[in-house]
Amino acid sequence: MNNEKILLGTPTAYQFCDDNGIAIEMVAKALSKSFLSVEDVQVFFNTQSLAKNKSSKNQASKYWDIDHAAFGDIRIESVDNFSKITAENLSAAVQVIPSVTHGDNFSIQKINDFRQQVKEELKLQNRSLTLLPFIIKAMSKSLKKFPKINASLSADGEKLIYKNFIHIGVAMQTEYGLVVPVIRNVDKKNLLEIIDDLQNLTTLARSKKLKQEHLGGASITVTSLGKIAGLRFTPIINPPELAILGVSKTLIEPVWNGQEFLPEMKVPLDLSYDHRVINGVLASHFMTDIGNRISNPELILI
């Protein structure tokens, strides 16, 4: 085959080679074939890409290949498989997705007042109403208004897959690592149902009892630092989703009412989004819509 000239290849094989800058004769020689299908050249291209990525990864690993014991006493623990998978997903997201983060602070004064009113009643029901269910419900309503954010790119980047459902992933930190269980059909649930789902998923996550049915398929993810210190952060998108919303510690800001400054409770929100699909204008409108809903919770409850 080394001296044999390629006789024929399918039109799609030629097109794939042209689009990816591959000489079809080189592929034929490497595969020892005189006829190439598009699958042949795709396999060749993917193999070459994986080898290139592996080589780059190995080259980069030199920065970690250090004898730390030379500098003092150390202790070594093996990284568990769960953490390895999480690290691979996050690394892939950072390498592939051109991510941009849009942040703003929104009033939650009305939500806080409402929470205080129903706190004791919910306590009798063994329920705790935090800010997160309001945000999750607001996100579901905003996703209906901006369906492009409730989508995913196909693997080849050629198609945009719109989802006719609204499932929201909730990032949870556990003793064994970060997990993202999913609340299904949030748009069809009220606040009490979302509270119950959150409590149930949290219990399952902490006891390491999450099943496959609890994971994957989210429209978007929300991740909250809760009461942990920090004004803002840049959350990493959870592919194949197009965006992730970060929630930081609530704060009190002075707000001018036309006559005087009054204290108002606000929450910092940070939306990281995939710039291949979502532009800054769309992200800004989406965030403003969420903010308007949590600042006016009657828009969430109706």
pTM of this prediction exceeds 0.95: no
Check pLDDT > 60 for residue 230. yes
Three-state SS across 123-158?
Answer: HHCCCCCCHHHHHHHHHHHHHHHCCCCCEEECCCCC
Cα distance from N-terminal residue to C-terminal residue, the chain: 71
> Each residue of 1-20: pLDDT tens digit?
444 444 568 888 888 888 77
Report the C-alpha gap between 44 and 151 in whole angstroms. 30
Query: What phi, psi does 90 have (nearest 5°)?
Result: -65, -40
- Which of 34-38, 210-214, 224-228 has the largest mean confidence? 210-214
Q: Are 151 and 164 in contact (CB under 8 A)?
A: no
Q: Which residues are catalytic?
A: 275
What is the pLDDT at residue 3? Answer: 45
Q: Is the pLDDT of residue 265 over 80?
A: yes
Give the residue carrying structure tokens 């929630």: 247
Question: For 48-103, how does the pLDDT look when each residue is reduced to its tens digit (9 = 90+)?
Answer: 665 555 555 556 666 777 888 888 888 888 877 777 777 777 887 888 889 999 99
| % of the chain exceeding 90 in pLDDT | 56
Q: Which domains does the chain have, with CATH numbers?
A: 8-64 (no CATH), 83-301 (3.30.559.10)
- Residue 281: per-residue pLDDT: 96
pLDDT for res 2: 44
